[in-house]
Amino acid sequence: MKCRKCGAAAALELRRHNAAFCAPDFLDFFRNQVREAIRRHKMFARGERVLVAVSGGKDSLALWDVLLDEGYDTTGLYLDLGIFDYSVESKAKCEAFAARRGATLLVSRVADEVGAPVPVIKQVTRRPPCSGCGLSKRYLMNRVALDHGMDVVATGHNLDDEAATLFGSVMHWQTEALPRQSPALPSTHPKLVRRVKPLYRLSEREAAAYAFLRRIDYIVEECPFAHGATSIAHKEILNRMEEASPGAKHNFLFGFLEKARPVFERAAGVVLQECARCGQVTTGTVCAFCKLADQVKRAAGGAAPER
């Protein structure tokens, strides 16, 4: 197998692109896909401040690596979820990466902000851990970005993540989630920071190859709560489809973005207002994060905190 660009021995075959690349040309391909995502969705411009949410995994660290090399003004954000050794190790990976690249890393602890770490939130709410965790992550990313004057939050979601989320939303016909399924979510309120996913054109395998070739030291283990999550089952189904028909995931996601999403977007008319307690955006009177923090405080026997 030969590299599509230079004809040298290929290091990686990309069946959905019907191509193979040597290591340097694969890195070029990867960076070009990120550039194309940023350009096509006007994700951010030079001079804007980008908060990169990093988990210590391959995707978010690969994203930060590309954006640093491209000369963007980036700051990392690690959200410490308090999930046993997984959080200890993933935080260490982010700190080591930031130190190696001379970049700034902010750390915010869910235990400080909600009143308890994710495993305790899971017990208190008696809901799947990813529910309280996801809610806290989205809330804290936005609040930290606002507090630090960031223009945009970038996350490491890749093609596989996005296709699996879309698959889950379609399986349950969560029509309110479909307009939000986008590589770039604009700010629709002064207190809502723009959110972008510059890796949405790249697969999980491609992000792993990039991280490997760039010698990025990332946490290989998944979050212990990821096992059994429905998103994993959806990924497995999509992987089987991809195996049988290379490009299936790409067609599923990109077809939705081009043809179906605009229809759902027109139909959605969500009005955002400020939470009466913390001032962050919500569709109700008190936001879901403040309600979660109340629930945790009540379970601990304390009074609900003033926010």
Q: How far is the CB of 50 from Zn ion (least distance, A)?
A: 25
**Binding segment toward ligand Q46, per CB under 6 A, in 39-47, 128-136, 234-242, 254-262:** 128-136
Q: Is residue 278 at the binding interface for Zn ion, with CB under 5 A as the rule?
A: yes
- Give the C-alpha separation, 89 to 78, whole Å: 12
Q: Which of residues 125-144 bind Zn ion (CB under 5 A)?
A: none
- Give the C-alpha separation, 205 to 26, whole Å: 12
Q: Which is nearer to ligand Q46, 187 or 231 (CB)?
A: 231
- Give the C-alpha separation, 294 to 183, whole Å: 32
Q: How far is the CB of 286 from Zn ion (least distance, A)?
A: 6
| Total residues at interface with ligand Q46 (CB under 6 A) | 10
Q: Is residue 177 at the binding interface for ligand Q46, with CB under 6 A as the rule?
A: no
Q: How far is the CB of 136 from Zn ion (least distance, A)?
A: 12
- Give the C-alpha separation, 109 to 81, whole Å: 6
Q: Is residue 277 at the binding interface for Zn ion, with CB under 5 A as the rule?
A: yes
Residue 287 interacts with which of Zn ion, ligand Q46, none, CB < 5 to 8 Å by class: Zn ion
Q: Which of residues 214-273 bind ligand Q46 (CB under 6 A)?
A: 223, 225-226, 229
Q: Is residue 61 at the binding interface for ligand Q46, with CB under 6 A as the rule?
A: no
Q: Which of 118, 144, 202, 211 binds ligand Q46 (CB under 6 A)?
A: 118
Q: What is the phi/psi pair of residue 233, to 5°?
A: -60, -40
Tell me how crowded residue 122 is: count the other CB atoms within 10 A of its CB.
19
- Give the C-alpha separation, 72 to 27, whole Å: 18
Q: Which is nearer to ligand Q46, 87 or 280 (CB)?
A: 87
Q: Is residue 121 at the binding interface for ligand Q46, with CB under 6 A as the rule?
A: no
CA dihedral of 237, 240, 241, 247, whole degrees rounded to 10: 120
Residue 134 interacts with which of Zn ion, ligand Q46, none, CB < 5 to 8 Å by class: ligand Q46
- Give the C-alpha separation, 67 to 43, whole Å: 12
> Is 240 strand, coil or helix?
helix
Token duo for residue 269: 């008319």
Residue 129 interacts with which of ligand Q46, Zn ion, none, CB < 5 to 8 Å by class: ligand Q46
Instruction: Identify whether the C-beta of residue 299 lies closer than 8 Å to the C-beta of residue 115.
Output: no
Run of H or E including 76: strand 73-80
Instruction: Identify whether the C-beta of residue 260 lies closer than 8 Å to the C-beta of residue 181.
Output: no
User: Residues 83-102 vs ligand Q46: string with x where CB under 6 A?
Assistant: --------------------
Q: Which residues bind Zn ion (CB under 5 A)?
A: 275, 277-278, 287, 290
Q: Which residues bind ligand Q46 (CB under 6 A)?
A: 81, 118, 129-130, 133-134, 223, 225-226, 229
